[in-house]
Amino acid sequence: MHGPGVGFHATLDPKRQAILRYARKAFVSDGYAATRIEPIAREAGVSTATLYALFEGKAQLFDAVIEDAAQDFARQMAGVGAIEGDARQQLISFGEAYADFMGDPFVRSVFRLVMAERPRFQAVARRFFDHGQVAFGATLIAILKAQSAAGALKPIDRPSRAAGHLMGMIEHPVFFVPLVTGDEIAVRRTNAEIVEDAVDTFLARYGA
């Protein structure tokens, strides 16, 4: 992931964006407890007073960092649902975008950060993951419904479950395996190979 956010109006204030950028790096590398406000302000090129004028404190800054990162879900998927082509081409395009996003080390860093702070920021964590499900799941479900209506896929009674099948086959090797084994252990297959295998398996079950 390249930065989280949820369904809030984004601001283009350059000072705010700089603060969020350096705060994100600090929270990911140091964790919530060890992160200090003053170094973030210094790195962002603003005064501590300016930072506190934009964010009441570290908790609010952390909340804003996660919100900003979640916005990347929607940005990463923008345009994927509009890709033209047959069912396989659309699913491959979706799968490659999903794999690239979920395979990004920053996404895993944010996941670890949110999980570590979930007891302290339960609502923030819930919004973060709910937004991800909507951004990716809704895009894929729309593709499945359209291709099913066109006769390219079998009638799908539960498109959300079918979407989960495809996303699960992709996210397991590109996200969960590195999450558990460590980022330094490379997955043997490329993202393209993983996606192609997942889509072919999916079409073997759902293809018309």
More confident of the two residues 127 and 99: 99
pTM assigned to the model: 0.75
Strand partners, 207: 153
Percent of the chain with pLDDT over 90: 50
The dihedral built from the CA positions of residue 31, 35, 39 and 44, taken in this order, carries a sign that is: positive
More confident of the two residues 183 and 108: 108
**What rounded mean pLDDT belongs to the chain?**
84
Check residue 39 and give its pLDDT.
96
Query: What is the C-alpha separation between 203 and 56, in angstroms, rounded?
Result: 50
